[in-house]
Structure 1
Amino acid sequence: MPGRHSGTAHFRPDIEGLRAVAVLMVLAFHAGLPFAPGGFAGVDVFFVISGFLITGLLVREVERSGRVSLLTFYARRAKRLLPAASLVLVATGILSWLFIPRIRWAEIGGDLVASAAYLVNWRLASRSVDYLAEDSVASPVQHYWSLAVEEQFYIFWPLLIVLGAWLVHRHRLRTRPVLGALLVLVVLASLGWSVVATATQPETAYFVTTTRLWELGIGGLVAITAPFWQRVAPGPATGIAWAGLLALASSATLLGPATPWPGSAALLPTLGTAAVIAGGFAARSRGPVRLLGAAPMREIGATSYSLYLWHWPLLVVAAAAWGELSLWQGVAIAALSYVPARLTYALVENPIRSAPVMSRLPTLALGLGAACTVLGVGAGLTLVRGMASSIEQAEAAPGASAMLGGDQPAVEPTGPGSGDVDVDVDVDGDGDGDGNGATASTAPNTSQGEGEGDRVPDLAATGPDLSRIDLTPESISPDPLLATKDVPALYARGCSGKLGETEVVRCVAGDPDGELVVALVGDSKIGQWGDVLEQLATEQGWALHLYTRSGCTWTAATIDDDGSCLQWGQRVHERLLGPEQPDVVIVSGVKHGAGEGTGQERRDRLSAGYVDYWSDLGRVGVPVIVLSDTPSPGEVSVYECVSEHRDDVSHCAFGRSDGSGTTALREAAARVATATFLTMNDWICPLEDCPPVIGDVLVYRQGSHITNTYAVSLLEPLRARLVPVVEEAVAASAASSR
């Protein structure tokens, strides 16, 4: 986005207008305009422009002096980019403090720090594959990822040019062919990796620098080949520029969020941008050059950097303050962001960039850049510290760290309890644990619910006492500020595989020497019961084997990912049928989808995939206990809502449901004779509107996952339902084998 000059060292109004096209595409997309579903490609337009401008600047310096002054180059970038970027980061920190729920401050603060350091793209890439960050909403500085890519490009690119200049001087070669050859190697390598990563690692491919370098390189190649484009006849040059504009229009209207990105699809906007720039060399004042160089386009293009910086935090903060924005609210906020953008351009961006003293003293410009970075980091750390202070207060509150407990599910806690488990992690897939002996302490809590047992014994059908439900908590455990940390110990032990991995991780808990081996298999929806099932296994003398992988429903159907879930599931299936064969398997899962088609068709395929695996187990005498998915809060972030409405948590109640994955699980269980369906949802949502806090216990953490504290509080009703089912299933299996 920086730079105002073309590869000919003369200001080109059409490139300024092209920047306007890029930022308007992005604004239209973020505002939600339906005719611009591919407006996100405006960022790719910016990348090509930046690659063109910066490469042209560096190549001309090499041709003029035979060298590159890195000090001067970095000083120019610092004074051009950092003041406006840091101003917006500080403003975003203030707006977040005022209008965004406190529970999000630590995450946003970390994003601010990473943005100030121009590393936020890697932070976002890491978050995209962190299943425990599933409920992370859009960060107000998420758009800084593209600035981070450019800044990293500005560090790498001059060094490549310096290498080229050295080769030119050492071997008496021509400058542009050498630099062009180096650039082609980078473009081909990055483009190839972009295609591969987009297909195999789509969550991270969008953000990382390695999948984007080729886009900047395309612009660089146009700059290096500028002498050729200057000799093209005006007529063909005009046609090339028009073709480029058509490609950009097609990108904005024909692409969409479902398009794998960047990958090969990004060739459309990047080559289109390159065509507009290349054609503009010789098209002179003809059609496309005249259109892009019009005064309104130049005006928007001049402020495009500040406009890009301001529009997104204003949209995110407005959504946090007012709720989901309507189309016209989004459009209005995007349009109004021009006001602070114009002020930033006129009062900060342009004066600092044009100040003669900054040009004379590069070290002063670098010092200013460093100071701006410190301001941005400080804004982030202030938010982080604000959240930390709130957490310290929550942890210091009476009863905040105590686990609630009792002899039976009840509103009033009666006392703590604990249980230790040994964990044997088998990562290499050979079926032998390494005996690392890690331990975790868990304890029962209190809760209540309503019974609607399905294919379970009479004892297990006993539901909660609705008269004892307390919907006006005096305290909340865990405190909603700590909810995201209230997860089963299996995550800390490394017992849950990560997104994209196919290796099978087996953890052994409960009584490792127990005669009855129970396997816990599935995604995070079975994993959320890990601690309470470990405690139950310990008291019952079961050996508990955990096979879990976040984001992967255990089904023979292909779910909506890169294929790693299917591979992982097949490997688990083979191990369960082999030497690690358990006596009984307990499964659950969420609705992850199963290919294309209607909702019913996808659910049917998911259910059929369950049937395939469970039937195979049944044929070798292994019964399956199917635990229902938990009710989904939908768009309600329960713990965040509770943190903002502690005095009246009824604001955070939501309509009762079975959970998105329950129907497929129930249908599959009905088709497999050796499978038994069991639900705990009446205890999780005992009323028509699911209460967010029951018996002073917060029910939900991320998404539709229940807190570990609440899961462990269900020890008594879970024991009453599960143990008889397990005993009956094992006995039936033994009888059938005789």
Structure 2
Amino acid sequence: MPGRHSGTAHFRPDIEGLRAVAVLMVLAFHAGLPFAPGGFAGVDVFFVISGFLITGLLVREVERSGRVSLLTFYARRAKRLLPAASLVLVVTGILTWLFIPRVRWAEIGGDLVASAAYLINWRLADRSVDYLAEDSVASPVQHYWSLAVEEQFYIVWPLLIVFGAWLVHRHRLRTRPVLGALLLLVVVGSLGWSVVATASQPETAYFVTTTRLWELGVGGLVAITSAHWQRLAPGTATGLAWAGLAALLLSVTILGTGTAWPGYAALLPTLGTAAVIAGGFAGRDRGPVRLLGAAPMRDIGATSYSLYLWHWPLLVVAAAAWGDLSLWQGVAIAAFSYLPARLTYALVENPIRSAPVMSRLPFVALVVGAACTVLGVGAGVTLVRGMESSIEQTEAAPGAEALLDGGENPMDAPAPGRDADDPSAVDEDATPATATATDDSDPDLADTGPDVSRIDLTPESISPDPLLATKDLPDLYARGCSGKVGATEVIHCVSGDPEGELVVAVVGDSKIGQWGDVLEQVATDEGWQLHLYTRSGCTWTAASIDDDGSCLRWGQDVHDRLLGDEQPDVVIVSGVKHGSGDGSGQERRDRLAAGYADYWSDLGQVGVPVIVLSDTPSPGEHPVYECVSEHRDDVSVCAFDRSDGSGTRALQAAAAQVPTATFLTMNDWICPLEDCPPVIGDVLVYRQGSHITNTYAVSLLEPLRARLVPAVEAAVGASGASSP
């Protein structure tokens, strides 16, 4: 009954107010308020509340009837959660279609489908360790990950309770101690795994269900032990609730995005929430209970679910339409989201939840829930199909040469600007990336860059199509020849000429990987054996560059292999700037360079020289291909300031320290002007981040060959001459 706080009452106004605290924490964080750096912990508050309420509901049913009606339980969840969630998914799909660049439609469409199926947390966990998804900005439905965790909890938890009820009935045990013991096992196991996973796999630990179950379980334990909390003295209960609120305040103010999460740090908001709930049993109308149960807090708490659903898509879509939001824009949008949230609560959420037919016929509620899920999936599929349709239209356009799965391999085709019948003939109108690309007879090719006077910034077509840029990758990724983020296992692939006498090792992160097809072609033509040792996100350095140590372990293993049975004749390396720990940017760069030099010097001592290929220029935060997809008629607006690339300085510094290292750059071909052109010779230059498309890398085959082959021959020759 509303207003009562005894253990027999099912409605707790203070818990409704606690929901308000949770959603306000999240909104403050997402709006960018500087005093709420730990507002993301509001999600953890929701988890504890859900665990408390659902466990209490199930335990009371077991005590009342000795069983759990799974049909009734799932029907209740379906009518409570799915209508509002699906409405927001559909509207988000519409807003995406209207305001977000097409290049993101397929990814967001997939997110909508995963959200409708309540699997988005696992999709986000997988994306978080996919280095090829580095340009994936925040999805407008990213916040559904927490709903997915709860839905998965709702599937598993009743089954656990059913198992406990069976144990109670079979062995004539007491209900709450048995259920409490089962929940305690889950809490301890999940908390332990959360601490371990947060330390070793922080990218995935944030999203996966296994690291979060303990938070819901803590709420469940409070529900199971409710009799104990009801017997507390009112003063003690009030003090406990105040302590819990203080813990939540600390969570908001002292935590931040740099906090390893969830792990043991999540104990603060989790136990704080549990304390507020436990204290509310006997706290009656004192202090925190009265505060949380006040009408404004109850009102926000009642709409907290819809408010949580609406605020994030509105923020993301606004940022896509207007650019980076200011603090006050973020606050205004977060506040505005109360309006659609209130309408959703009044017109959708509450009417469906309280409809008599839903209570009388649980099957009807399940059908409605299934229909809502289909709507959400349909919104996602529509977006994906919309992007596919856009791709089909650009492919049908005259002169379009999009690189598609099953299409022509650019390695087998003449470079842009070449005559297919006479590859040595140069089209005088071709752009610099290809105009001199196949002139092997030009002795100055290795020393000169492109002819910048012939760059055309008004391409007739763009290849690969910007909508497919993220798929335009070297073949080594499809072959599984590059390790993923967080992996320590060394993946070793061999290509080129398998009978070649010269053994060349290619080592590093995705910055050397982007040249994979080109290096393999050079190796095949020159008769080299090519051995690939690449791992996304890991430069090959003895310096500490990440928090979990996986790169160090991977790099040391590669180092030992190259000095052991897999010793090559020469090594080709590159890398982007990585760094962690204290110190200025220059100090971290110096450590990175020193780590490079350590490994390269070890190779030099056994007669293995190193060819160092520079990092590629960085376009900044905004993806080039996304800009080009929206400005096909004037790609010049997507140009950016020329740079050497974030990793180049450390590579150059290390090469200067090691006599057996030779530094090469292709940046004059990648960015031949002061403002780097996004499209050269009708070829899109960039895909993710500062990585060049495979099509553009292939177009630089001959310029790279002209610089690389003499450098390798000179380095190997010098190494042989100096060997005893």
Does residue 665 of structure 2 align to residue 679 of structure 1? yes
Deviations 1:617-642 (A, max 9, x none): 00011111100000000112000110
Give % identity.
Answer: 85
Q: Deviations over 1:276-320 (max 9, x none)?
A: 000011111111011111111111000000000000000011111
Name the residue aligned to 1:494: 480
Q: TM-score, normalised by structure 1?
A: 0.93
Which stretch shows the higher mean deviation, 715-724 or 256-265? 715-724
Query: Is residue 88 of structure 2 the alignment partner of residue 88 of structure 1?
Result: yes
Q: Match of 1:186, as an amino acid?
A: V
> What is the rounded CA distance, in whole Å, between the counterparts of 1:449 and 1:594 in structure 2?
42
Structure 1 residues 177 and 240, CA gap change in structure 2 (3 angstroms)? same
The answer (yes or no) to whether the contact 1:412–1:446 under 8 Å persists in 2 is no
Q: 1:469 aligns with which of 455, 458, 465?
A: 455
| 2-structure distance, mates of 1:261, 1:6 | 35
1:422 paired residue number = none
CA contact (8 A) 1:487 1:528 kept: yes
Q: Using the TM superposition, give the Cα deviation of residue 417 of structure 1 relative to its aligned residue in structure 2, in angstroms.
A: 10
Aligned residues of 1:446 and 1:714 also touching (Cα < 8 A)? no
Q: Bigger shift: 390-399 or 239-248?
A: 390-399
Q: Distance in 2 between matches of 1:407 and 1:276?
A: 68
Distance 1:532 1:174 in 2: 70
1:707/1:446 Cα in 2 relative to 1: closer, same or farther (>3 Å)? farther
Query: Which residue of 2 is the match for residue 359 of structure 1?
Result: 359
SS at match of 1:461: coil
Tell me the secondary structure at the aligned position of residue 291 of structure 1.
Answer: helix
Partner of 2:419 in structure 1? 414
Is residue 509 of structure 2 the alignment partner of residue 523 of structure 1? yes
Distance 1:59 1:607, change over 3 A: same
Shift of the 5–657 alpha-carbon distance from structure 1 to 2, 3 Å rule, reads: farther
Q: Deviations over 1:37-56 (max 9, x none)?
A: 00000000000000000111
Cα distance, 1:219 vs. partner? 0.3
Q: Secondary structure at the match of 2:533?
A: strand
- Contact persistence 2:27–2:39 (CA under 8 A): yes
Match of 1:625 among 611, 615, 624: 611
Match runs of 1:68-467 below 5 Å: 68-397=68-397, 398-400=399-401, 401=403, 412-415=417-420, 447=433, 460-467=446-453
Measure the CA separation in 1 of the matches of 2:717 and 2:312: 61
User: Structure 2 CA distance, aligned partners of 1:328 and 1:379?
Assistant: 31
Out of 470, 480, 494, the residue aligned to residue 466 of structure 2 is: 480
Aligned to 2:722: 736
The 3 A distance-change label for structure 1 pair 450 and 263 is farther
Out of 575, 600, 622, which is 1:636 matched to?
622
* 3-state SS, counterpart of residue 365 of structure 1: helix
Q: 1:705 aligns with which of 691, 697, 701?
A: 691
Instruction: Check whether the contact 1:183–1:217 (CA below 8 A) recurs between aligned residues.
Output: yes
1:587-629, Cα deviation, whole Å (9 max, x unpaired): 0000111432211111111110000000000001111110000
For residues 352 and 737 of structure 1, the distance between their equivalents in structure 2, rounded to whole angstroms, comes to 82
- Give, in whole Å, the separation in 2 of the partners of 1:561 and 1:229: 41
Q: What is the CA deviation profile of residues 352-380 of structure 1, one whole-angstrom value per residue up to 9, with x for unaligned ones?
A: 11111111111111111111111111111
For 1:664, the aligned partner's letter is: A
Which is further off, 646-655 or 5-14? 5-14
Instruction: Deviation per CA, 1:404-445: give whole Å up to 9, x if none.
Output: 799998x73433899xxxxxxxxxxxxxxxxxxxxxxxxx99
Write the distance in 2 (CA, Å) between the matches of 1:405 and 1:566: 34
Deviations 1:516-536 (A, max 9, x none): 111111000000001011111
Between 1:46-55 and 1:719-728, the stretch displaced more is: 719-728
1:670 alignment partner, one of 644, 651, 656:
656
Equivalent residue letter for 2:417: E
Counterparts of 2:702 and 2:54 in 1: how far apart (Å)? 67
Q: Deviations over 1:434-461 (max 9, x none)?
A: xxxxxxxxxx99716999xxxxx97522
CA distance, structure 1, for counterparts of residue 418 and residue 411 of structure 2? 5
The secondary structure found in structure 1 opposite 2:433 is coil
Q: Is this contact kept in 2: 1:666–1:677, CA < 8 A?
A: yes
Distance (Å, rounded) in 2 between the aligned partners of 1:21 and 1:370: 31
CA distance in 2, matches of 1:131, 1:446: 30
Would the aligned equivalents of 1:164 and 1:178 in 2 still touch at CA under 8 Å?
A: yes
Q: Secondary structure at the match of 1:460?
A: coil
Displacement after TM superposition at 1:341 (Å):
0.1
d(CA) in 1 for partners of 2:422, 2:258? 49
Which residue type is aligned with residue 559 of structure 1? I
Letter of the 2:249 partner, please give it: A
Flag structure 2 segments of 5+ consecutive residues without an equivalent. 424-429, 438-442
Residue in 2 that maps onto 1:10? 10
Q: Deviations over 1:335-358 (max 9, x none)?
A: 000000000000000111111111
Tell me how far apart the structure 2 counterparts of residues 163 and 541 of structure 1 sit (CA, whole Å).
65
The Cα RMSD (Å) is: 2.1
Give CA deviations for 1:547-590 in whole Å, capped at 9, x if unaligned. Answer: 11111100011111411111111111111111211111110000
The CA distance in 1 between the partners of 2:394 and 2:513, in whole Å, is: 26
Aligned to 1:570: 556
Deviation at 1:8, TM superposition (A): 3.3
Is residue 22 of structure 2 the alignment partner of residue 22 of structure 1? Answer: yes
User: Residues of 2 paired with 1:416 and 1:525: CA distance?
Assistant: 33
Partner of 2:594 in structure 1? 608
* 1:714 corresponds to 2:719: no
Answer whether contact 1:405 1:416 (CA < 8 A) is retained. Answer: no
Q: 1:110 to 1:508 in 2, by over 3 A?
A: same
Q: Structure 1 516/405 Cα, relative in aligned 2: closer, same or farther at 3 Å?
A: closer
Q: Secondary structure at the match of 2:531?
A: strand
**What one-letter code is carried by the residue in structure 1 that aligns with 2:420?**
G
Go from structure 1 to structure 2 and tell me whether the alpha carbon gap of 1:485 and 1:416 turns closer, same or farther (over 3 Å shift): farther
**Which AA in structure 2 matches 1:321?**
A
CA distance in 2, matches of 1:44, 1:523: 35
1:7 is displaced (CA, Å) by 5.8
2:440 match: none
SS in structure 1 opposite 2:506?
A: strand
Q: Does the 8 A contact of 2:433 with 2:699 survive in 1? A: yes
Could you say if the C-alpha distance between residues 585 and 405 of structure 1 is closer, same or farther in structure 2, counting changes exceeding 3 Å? Answer: closer
Normalised by the size of structure 2, how large is the TM-score?
0.95
What is the CA distance between 1:20 and its match in structure 2?
Answer: 0.2
CA positional deviation for 1:723: 1.2
Deviation at 1:33, TM superposition (A): 0.6
Contact 2:20–2:297 under 8 Å retained in 1 = yes
- The aligned counterpart of 1:439 is none
Q: Deviations over 1:210-262 (max 9, x none)?
A: 11000000000000111110110000110000000000000011000110100
SS at 2:690's partner residue?
A: coil
Q: Secondary structure at the match of 2:464?
A: coil
Separation in structure 1 between the aligned mates of residue 411 and residue 129 of structure 2, nearest angstrom = 35
Aligned residues: 704
Give the superposition deviation at 1:715.
Answer: 1.2
- The 1:163–1:119 alpha-carbon spacing in structure 2 relative to 1, beyond 3 Å, is same
User: 1:449 touches 1:686 (CA, 8 Å); kept in 2?
Assistant: no
Q: In 2 relative to 1, CA 393–407 (structure 1 residues): closer, same or farther, beyond 3 Å?
A: closer
In 2: Cα distance, 1:98 partner to 1:57 partner: 42
Judged with a 3 Å threshold, the aligned counterparts in structure 2 of structure 1 residues 407 and 20 are, in CA distance, closer, same or farther, namely closer
